[in-house]
């Protein structure tokens, strides 16, 4: 087995180490040769690495057909590397873009390379720094014949799904792999925002200390309803102190969340397809608004402060309400992401196996959770699994979800994702929505016509007469 790796940043370096640990001869290239030297100084004992100082040397060190993994910044950087690389390649060679590229860019690149006889694979990789090294979730898409050649190595490199399988599967043609990774990241945005809102409520309304939050989230991370990687790391975050000040680090971090584009792409794609993903949209908006620091500072001085700041509620009651709201909102977030994937699969005729997608997210990836063990069979129309999920939305949990949203509003604590999730739930289960009035308004001022519930056809009324 051989693999060429271009780009030795954190993710690229760890994927290279992962491949070498699993028996591959790994040829390395990085624009900054100093980074390649540093890599070898630290990791040369982990496997067979070949360092190169130019792309020509890099290509010559591999036998055809070559498999070359790009881990460079999405966008123009990918095209720039390919432009330099392509004249040196031969028919049958494979380029794997393992970065967070937009699926449309992947489609464009695949069409171009196919004419040259070169395979292009767009592969989503989730798991962060640790996952890339120890076993990520991999979402490859593109030419299935090329994937057959790559799959033996990818199987070894990927994480376990916890059920004797590996967290890698062929997603579909064209940009399918990068599309599924994009939706994965959208779900990730949603869940992270939900956890942040839960933290805010517990700290602001419940007056919980970081020590208490660490214990609570650690308990939740071991539970069947909330157990997940994101819960685990959240619990750990609350325990870390700044070495210099000895204060909890979480209290010293600026409340500005960054983003690299995949969340925005998810919301744009959903709007194009006509699929509602309000929890994910709210999470993207929340990150944007967090970055508008000057606007927030100005409005904080201008606008009246929120009414009652303190809620008279026992700590145990608040904790239970937050847990229920968090659990059910996370279920809604997954539902929105899977509905978006189903719609795109139908539009593009990608034929996604959404059960397989759920399976490969059970290990290695950022959004791995115990809930996926229930969601996976539900994607195969398993009646028992579907019934179990629906049952979780009923009774005390739903009541507490509603109570928490009302409480947050009354205390002036912003919960865009938790409330959007409840709005989503109430909308999809409602027999009749008020959009009949909107359609009447559209027909009034624009003659857009409307449909009726009692007979077929399109109708227009001269309302002002």
The active-site residue out of 188, 197, 327, 339 is 188
Q: Is the pLDDT of residue 175 over 90?
A: yes
Tell me, rounded to whole angstroms, the distance of Cα 53 from its chain centroid: 35
pLDDT of res. 200? 96
Indicate if 241 belongs to the active site: no
Which pLDDT belongs to residue 348? 95
Residue 311's pLDDT band (boundaries 50, 70, 90)? low
Q: How confident is the model at residue 268 (pLDDT cuts 50, 70, 90)?
A: very high
Position 295 confidence tier, pLDDT thresholds 50, 70, 90? confident
Strands ordered across the beta sheet of 137-142: 48-51, 25-29, 2-6, 67-70, 94-97, 119-126, 137-142
Whether 309 shows a pLDDT value over 80: the answer reads no
Contacts 24+ apart (CB under 8 A), 300-306: 305/412, 306/411, 306/412, 306/413
Query: What's residue 314's pLDDT?
Result: 86
Predicted confidence at residue 276, as pLDDT, reads 97
DSSP, collapsed to helix, strand or coil, labels residue 14 as helix
pLDDT of residue 221: 96
Confidence of residue 304 (pLDDT cuts 50, 70, 90): confident
Quickly count helices (H) and strands (E) in the chain: 20, 7
* Whole-number pLDDT of residue 74: 84
Q: Which residue has the higher pLDDT, 295 or 445?
A: 445
Per-residue pLDDT, 49? 96
- pLDDT, residue 388, reads 94
Torsions phi, psi for 140 (to 5 deg): -85, 140
> Given this model, what pLDDT does residue 299 score?
83
Number of other residues whose CB lies within 10 A of the CB of residue 375: 24
User: Is residue 157 predicted with pLDDT exceeding 90?
Assistant: yes
Q: What is the DSSP string of 375-420?
A: HHHHTTT-HHHHHHHHHHTSTHHHHHHHHHHHHHHHHT---HHHHH
**Among 107, 110, 181, 197, the one annotated catalytic:** 181
Report residue 328's pLDDT band, with 50, 70 and 90 as the boundaries: very high
* pLDDT score at 306: 66
Residue 301 is predicted with a pLDDT of 79
C-alpha span between 166 and 359 (Å, rounded): 9
pLDDT value at 307 more than 80: no
Of 21-30, 73-82, 325-334, 382-391, the poorest mean pLDDT is in 73-82
Burial of 273 (0-12, 13-18, 19+ CB in 10 A): middle
- Mean pLDDT within 183-209: 96
Average confidence score pLDDT of the chain: 94
pLDDT digits (tens, 9 = 90+) for 66-98: 999 999 888 889 999 999 999 999 999 999 999
Taking only the tens place, the pLDDT of each residue in 93-112 is 999 999 999 999 999 999 99
305 pLDDT more than 80 = no
Is 181 one of the catalytic residues?
yes
Token digits for 148?
């057959």
pLDDT in tens, 207-256: 999 999 999 999 999 999 999 999 999 999 999 999 999 999 999 999 98
């Amino acid at each position: 087995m051989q693999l060429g790796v271009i780009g030795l940043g954190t993710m690229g370096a760890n994927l290279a180490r992962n491949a070498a640990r699993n028996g591959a001869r790994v040829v390395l290239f990085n624009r900054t040769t100093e980074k390649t030297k540093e890599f070898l100084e630290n990791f040369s004992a982990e496997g067979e690495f070949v360092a190169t100082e130019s792309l020509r040397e890099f290509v010559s060190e591999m036998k055809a057909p070559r498999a070359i993994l790009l881990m460079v910044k999405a966008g123009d950087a990918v095209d720039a590397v390919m432009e330099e690389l392509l004249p040196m390649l031969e028919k049958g060679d494979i380029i794997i873009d393992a970065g967070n590229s937009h699926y449309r860019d992947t489609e464009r690149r695949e069409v171009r390379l196919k004419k040259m006889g070169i395979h292009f694979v767009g592969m989503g990789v989730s798991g962060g720094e640790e996952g890339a090294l120890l076993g990520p979730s991999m979402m490859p898409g593109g030419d299935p014949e090329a994937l057959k050649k790559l799959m033996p190595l990818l199987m070894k490199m990927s994480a376990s799904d916890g059920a004797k399988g590996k967290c890698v599967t062929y997603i579909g043609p064209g940009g399918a792999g990068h599309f599924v990774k994009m939706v994965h990241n959208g779900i990730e945005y949603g869940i992270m925002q939900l956890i942040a809102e839960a933290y805010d409520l517990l700290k602001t309304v419940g007056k919980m200390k970081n020590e208490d939050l660490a214990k609570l989230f650690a308990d939740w991370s071991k539970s069947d309803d909330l157990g997940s990687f994101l819960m685990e790391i959240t619990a750990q975050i609350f325990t870390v102190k700044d070495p210099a000040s000895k204060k909890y680090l979480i209290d010293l971090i600026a409340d500005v969340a960054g983003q690299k584009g995949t969340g925005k792409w998810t919301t744009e794609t959903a709007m194009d397809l006509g699929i509602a993903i309000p929890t994910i949209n709210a999470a993207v908006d929340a990150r944007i608004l967090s970055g508008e620091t000057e606007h927030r500072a100005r409005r904080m001085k201008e606008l009246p402060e929120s009414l009652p700041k303190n809620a008279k509620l026992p700590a145990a009651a608040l904790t239970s309400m937050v847990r229920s709201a968090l659990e059910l909102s996370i279920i809604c977030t997954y539902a929105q992401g899977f509905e978006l994937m189903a719609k795109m699969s139908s539009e593009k005729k990608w034929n996604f196996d959404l059960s397989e997608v759920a399976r490969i997210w059970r290990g290695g990836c950022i959004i791995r959770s115990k809930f996926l063990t229930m969601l996976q069979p539900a994607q195969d129309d398993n009646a028992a699994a579907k019934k179990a999920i629906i049952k979780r939305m009923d009774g005390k949990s739903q009541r507490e979800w509603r109570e928490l949203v009302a409480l947050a509003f009354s205390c002036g604590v912003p919960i865009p994702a938790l409330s959007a999730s409840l709005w989503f739930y109430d909308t999809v289960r409602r027999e009749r929505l008020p959009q009949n009035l909107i359609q009447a308004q559209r027909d009034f001022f624009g003659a857009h016509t409307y449909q009726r519930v009692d007979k077929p056809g399109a109708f227009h009324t001269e309302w002002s007469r």
